[in-house]
Amino acid sequence: MKTLETLKTTLENFRPQMIELERVLSSIPAIAPESGGDGESKKCAALEKWLCEAGFDKNQMEHYDAPDSRVTSGVRPNLILTIPGKSNDYAIWVMAHMDVVPPGDLKLWKSDPFMVQYDEKSDKLIGRGVEDNQQGLVSGVFAALALLKNKITPEHTVKLLFMADEEFGSKYGIKYLLKKHPELFNNHDLILIPDGGDSKGETIEVAEKNILWLRLHTMGLQSHGSMPDKGKNAHLAACDLALRLNDLENFFNEKDDLFSPNYSTFQPTKKEANVETVNIIPGDDVFYMDCRILPRYSLDMVRAEVSKRVKEVEEKYGVKIEVSEPQAQQSPATPADAPVVKKLATAIKKAHGFEARPIGIGGGTVGAELRCCGFNAAIWSTMDEVCHQPNEYCYVRNIIADAETLCAMFTSD
């Protein structure tokens, strides 16, 4: 415990440097080319420079960059910082992503999204990326730096991974690493992703609902609004289909209290424009479904029932419906008693004195990619989850608290 108390004192003294690193990182908009940005290279270079100046050995940093001709640098960077441990039988990974989403409507921001503001009274940092995912990134960096400054060798090798492209599907991030550099990971590694959690740090995400996004394109026959019998109303057929697909919540109706909500959800969401005036029966209509499905139901099971209901609507209205999938993801769960979950829960108890519990979530993380490849991963952090919102914020005290937990994890057998 004396070692942990020493590290806690060091981390509290790092508060000004934590704020400064958040400012440095947010000042460089690491936005994907899909959103009009130039990727993460400048931000990664600034981070690498900061790490070297802080005292980390540049020889312990390795790049695994993914080629991408759309950005100026030609690559999407993935950087690994390794802190050798007393034992190398397995590694403890802390994985954070460098990319951020665009700020959105600037009128909703109280300050420049890319100039971090610190409110000392509330202990809040405000700016794009300060929580998603710089909070977890900074906690990992300073946990490692606390070991370095106190000349403490972790019990097991620690690897900090700074990833690209999480916000747009991870093709150039974790998917690239798993495909091109699978040798980086082994099944005994403990993988922690500080990119989701709750305001008290009490929940460890071990499972995700399967995700299926559907684009449903209904093709009928356009006619005058006064003569619907001359047309085939694509919008009407689509409305019927939306209700039938929403009703899948009653078909795939089992419950699992690991998740909140504890059931599968099938929700109509985005709607594309069809006709320009009120008095036209639309012959073409497009809408989307966001489906979050309990892992006990495979996506193929869902696809089969969707196809059945699509055919029923086609026959009823005489239309043709094309179904495509902008996103589809399913993954197994990390067992609640997996080593990474148990070691993290023990570290939380040791650092802060409370019990953490495993949960499942409806959102998607890079944890799903790792689990699909056979690697157990845990998602955890202490945060309000205000990612992607205007005036995104995080608390410095949460950066410190999570770094304390990581230090407890790094220094335990």
User: Catalytic positions, please?
Assistant: 99, 166
Q: Which two tokens stand for residue 97?
A: 């992503």
Give the dihedral sign, CA 141/143/144/146: positive
Report the 3 state secondary structure along the chain.
Answer: CHHHHHHHHHHHHCHHHHHHHHHHHHCCCCCCHHHCCCCCHHHHHHHHHHHHHHCCCHHHEEECCEECCCCCCCEECCEEEEECCCEEEEEEEEEEECCCCCCCCHHHCCCCCCCCEEECCCCEEECCCCCCCHHHHHHHHHHHHHHHHCCCCCCEEEEEEEECCCCCCCCCCHHHHHHHCHHHCCCCCEEEECCCCECCCCEEEEEECEEEEEEEEEECECEECCCHHHCECHHHHHHHHHHHHHCHHHHCCCCCCCCCCCCCEEEEEEECCCCCCCCEECCEEEEEEEEEECCCCCHHHHHHHHHHHHHHHHHHHCCEEEEEEEEEECCCCCCCCCHHHHHHHHHHHHHHCCCCEEEEECCCCCHHHHHHCCCCEEECCECCCCCCCCCCEEEHHHHHHHHHHHHHHHCCC
Q: What is the crossing angle of helices 2-13 and 339-352, to 10°?
A: 80
Return all residues near 305 (Cβ < 8 A) that are at least 6 apart.
248, 251, 252
Number of Cβ within a 10 Å radius of residue 34: 11
